[in-house]
A and B are shown apart, each in its own frame.
Chain A
Amino acid sequence: MADVVERVTKIVVDRLGVEESEVKLEASFKEDLGADSLDVVELVMELEDEFGMEISDDDAEKIVTVGDAVNYIKSTM
């Protein structure tokens, strides 16, 4: 499922303007990648569009790191 990681990484790079090398699974969107709360909301929106899914507000709140996003997406596939 490397594909999921690649697709998530691309969205994070585009949205947050960070280097691809910074987007590690353990990286926190807010702590490590400079996102504010609204950036994370937008990231989740883009992930929904990219993977054709709906992420509930409750689930979205648990997505803190890149790995959280990848694991959530994989769990729904």
Chain B
Amino acid sequence: MILNGKAALVTGASRGIGREIALELARQGANIAVNYSGSEAKANEVVTEIKALGREAFAVQCNVSNAESVTNMVKSVIEEFGSLQILVNNAGITRDNLLMRMKEEEWDDVINTNLKGVFLCTKAVSRQMMKQRSGRIINIASIVGISGNPGQANYVAAKAGVIGLTKTTAKELASRGITVNAVAPGFISTDMTDKLTEEVREAMLQQIPLARFGDPADVAGVTAFLASDTSAYMTGQTLHVDGGMVM
């Protein structure tokens, strides 16, 4: 186990990729704060699964776009675990629409959760990590933040923003022993991608050299690596977990 006894906060951990990340970090020995926004029951299921692995875990409600709420969440995690070594900024939403049809509200919602949320959570944990002189921040971006994607102007802008934020935070905090990296998943099978039509799925597969959709476990494994001491000499990087789609 590469994360024995470390304390981690995973945002958006009740479902999909975040859920798998929370479980994988726990399998690697970490205690986990399972953040959720609306899905309390699902978050509690994740907590139960983590406890069954013999780790500590608790669910913490917080909308990451709200500064006060984020501050309170981080305080409660540090109180509970006594320290905080790992933050995984995973919480994200989609409000897809063509640029010409996109409402201001759709733009704002996605930017607030997917980009501002990363800023707020990172700011809130940086104090503790600076004092510790150690920390790992892993931002879940997206391959579309690099390649662009029609119908997702808001999501793509937010994810590209996260990649820039990752690099800047990495430079600012490097001298204090904190590394900041991003993971850019490609098409990963989750509730989000299950909604796609068969036709769209076929077209997507054509673009993936490894010829399959990713599994949340593919992203979780790379995230655990970035959270571990094995990746100590990496910071500011964005790792593509996309079956080779974007090189």
Within 8 A of B (CB), among A22-59: 38, 41-42, 45
Q: Tell whether, in the assembled complex, residue A45 and residue B127 are in contact, meaning their CB atoms are under 8 Å apart.
A: yes
Docked Cα-Cα span, A42 to B175, in Å, equals 12
5 further A-B contacts with Cβ under 8 Å, apart from A38-B176, A41-B130, are A38-B172, A38-B175, A42-B130, A45-B127, A45-B131
* Chain A residues with CB under 8 A of B127: 45
* Chain B residues with CB under 8 A of A41: 130
* Chain A residues with CB under 8 A of B175: 38
Docked Cα-Cα span, A38 to B176, in Å, equals 9
How many residues of A are counted as interface, with CB atoms below 8 angstroms from the partner's CB atoms? 4
Closest-CB distance, B135 to chain A (whole angstroms): 14
Q: Who on chain B is nearest to A45 by CB?
A: B127
Kindly list the 9 A-B residue pairs having the minimum CB-CB distance in the complex, ordered from nearest: A45-B127, A42-B130, A38-B175, A38-B172, A45-B131, A38-B176, A45-B130, A41-B130, A38-B130
Q: Mark B112-145, 1 if CB is under 8 A from A, else 0.
A: 0000000000000001001100000000000000
A residues whose Cβ falls under 8 Å from a Cβ of B: 38, 41-42, 45
Closest-CB distance, B168 to chain A (whole angstroms): 13
* Chain A residues with CB under 8 A of B131: 45
* Chain B residues with CB under 8 A of A38: 130, 172, 175-176
Q: Who on chain B is nearest to A48 by CB?
A: B127
Q: Mark B153-193, 1 if CB is under 8 A from A, else 0.
A: 00000000000000000001001100000000000000000
Docked Cα-Cα span, A38 to B175, in Å, equals 9
Closest-CB distance, B125 to chain A (whole angstroms): 13
Q: Mark B224-235, 1 if CB is under 8 A from A, else 0.
A: 000000000000
Docked Cα-Cα span, A38 to B172, in Å, equals 8
* Chain B residues with CB under 8 A of A45: 127, 130-131
Q: Who on chain B is nearest to A49 by CB?
A: B131
Docked Cα-Cα span, A41 to B130, in Å, equals 10
Q: Who on chain B is nearest to A41 by CB?
A: B130
Q: Who on chain A is nearest to B176 by CB?
A: A38
